[in-house]
Amino acid sequence: MTDIPARIEDLVTTAVGEFELVAEHSWPGPDRPQIWEVRGSDGQRWFIKRHARPKGHRREVAAYQSWTHYLGAGRAPTLVAADTGARAIVITPVAGKSMHSHPLEGKDELEAYQQAGYLLALLHSAPTDTLTQAVVGEDEWEAAVEKMLNDAALYLPADVTAMLRHLTQERPGALPAQVCHADYQPRNWLWDSTTRILRLIDFERTCVEPAVKRDLPRLQLRILASRPKVRAAFYDGFGRDLTPAERHACIAYGAQDAVSALKWGLEHQDVETVDAAHTMLENLRAHYNHGLMRSPSRRR
């Protein structure tokens, strides 16, 4: 285990008293946070997180201070202490096991996804001080698409790059700006099999943006697109299906996210991220082919 830096030890001691280091749960690789589990003299546990970057620290602290309580009592950790200079926080534990490392099956999985949809809807409905609509400018969109295509050309065949160009040629219209988790995936969902309650963790990317930018495309293109029962359970909990404008934006933003994930995964030798990117690309291909089949010019 990696030792806790002295400044962060002082933060923990000030917040919770004397403690002992129990385990380290850090993700391997660069630009990842460090996470330690500690136990106090009374047996109570806490988690310590040192963010890799200041932005992640600011966002997670803001999420705990302003938004996670809208999920309901006990549905997310509680912030105990924070040190901006050390980019560190102390949070309470929440019960449950990650659905990424402990996959569910059958009714348990469907119930968990139903709750995931419900919790995401609650988070999206949290009040913000920003504008309620987000509009991406034409120049901004063209620059993002150009970057995606340049990156795609480094790693993908020409026909895939052409598909991505087609899927992103129409920029999304005005969409609601909401409180978004921005990494809403099973690895950040904890399922408590005893109480049958889902809880959320890891809010370091939480921000105000359209839900179709990251929250929904990652779920849709990595999991839901190929699993109709799971998709139905999620959107039942979410309370509604997506509008045509939201579905288009999910595809357009999802194309950019797939290439970004592929590039990052290859450059950092992260096989899991590369596999997730390829799953997204396969589902984008299926959507693209379906659109070609429905095109009037193709039916002649």
Strand pairing report for 207-209 and 175-176: unpaired
Length of the chain in residues, anyone?
A: 300
Long-range contacts of 77-83 (CB under 8 A, 24+ apart): 77/47, 77/201, 80/15, 80/16, 80/46, 81/11, 81/12, 81/14, 81/15, 81/16, 82/57, 83/7, 83/8, 83/11
Contacts of 240 (CB under 8 A, 6+ apart): none
The residue behind tokens 């150009």 is: 146
Phi and psi dihedrals of 65, rounded to 5? -75, -30
Compute the radius of gyration of the chain from its Cα atoms.
20
β-bridge mates for residue 82, sequence order: 89
pTM, two decimal places: 0.93
pLDDT tens for the 300 residues of the chain, in order: 788 999 999 999 999 999 999 999 987 777 889 999 999 999 999 999 999 999 999 999 999 999 999 999 999 999 999 999 999 999 999 999 999 999 999 999 999 999 999 999 999 999 987 667 778 889 999 999 999 999 999 999 999 999 999 999 999 988 989 999 999 999 999 999 999 999 999 999 999 999 999 999 999 999 999 999 999 999 999 999 999 999 999 999 999 999 999 999 999 999 999 999 999 999 999 999 987 666 555 444
DSSP output for 152-196: HHHHS-HHHHHHHHHHTSS----EE-EEE-SS-SGGGEEEETTTT
Pairwise CA distance, residues 203 & 238, whole Å: 19
The residue behind tokens 């002649």 is: 300
Pairwise CA distance, residues 84 & 110, whole Å: 39
What is the predicted pLDDT for the residue at 168? 97
